[in-house]
A and B are shown apart, each in its own frame.
Chain A
Amino acid sequence: AQTVTQSQPEMSVQEAETVTLSCTYDTSESDYYLFWYKQPPSRQMILVIRQEAYKQQNATENRFSVNFQKAAKSFSLKISDSQLGDAAMYFCAYRRGTNAGKSTFGDGTTLTVKP
């Protein structure tokens, strides 16, 4: 079974600074996708960024980028120029490319942004 581990239950960052959230996963499959989702206090889950396992290039979305280390099974999220609106719980998720595309989520990292 696939597992996703987020080793940092809580992180804090000063506004305008950079923070990195860690995620490791375990799988024996070759066809999969990795995601970071943001869950603000409103509870709505929002996609932050996506990475296809077959792509070597790290995904970027404006201030958000990932460091995807396939051999190490590591998928960290870097948030640059942190803003107050980035405060939320962040979930790392693994999605299978086959078998109904079932996803496995980490337990989340709560990010606090200090003004």
Chain B
Amino acid sequence: NAGVTQTPKFRILKIGQSMTLQCTQDMNHNYMYWYRQDPGMGLKLIYYSVGAGITDKGEVPNGYNVSRSTTEDFPLRLELAAPSQTSVYFCASSYSPGSNTGELFFGEGSRLTVL
């Protein structure tokens, strides 16, 4: 069982470039999330989705965009990369919070550097 798979694991971008972080899960979870983790800090929510076709902004959405065309996939798009977007990005998925397995399942993270 693969769980949550993120690609790429590492990427270096130049200022102004764009890229997409891919995320896919095979657990049939309705809820999916994108977080960023800055050095020495906790996770900040960028965008989230409660099902295919439904997305919404989190705490720090500026400079990002998402789509959710299927239950499995939740890509994160970075437009016009800026040094402030240098971070580690985590995709996560889950069942509803009240279920027995209501915890978040995380991908391995993607380290992005913008120079």
B108 touches A102 (CB 8 A): no
A105 touches B103 (CB 8 A): no
Given known pairs A101-B96, A105-B42, A107-B40, the reply for A50 and B103 (CB within 8 Å) is: yes
A residues within 8 A CB of B102? 33, 50, 95, 101
- Chain A residues with a Cβ closer than 8 Å to the other chain, count: 27
Q: Mark B41-80, 1 if CB is under 8 A from A, else 0.
A: 1111100101000001010000000000000000000000
Closest to B41 in A: A107
Q: B97: which of A4, A42, A43, A97 is its contact (CB, 8 Å)? A: A97
A108 touches B41 (CB 8 A): yes
Given known pairs A44-B108, A100-B31, A101-B31, the reply for A106 and B96 (CB within 8 Å) is: no
B residues within 8 A CB of A101? 31, 94, 96-97, 102
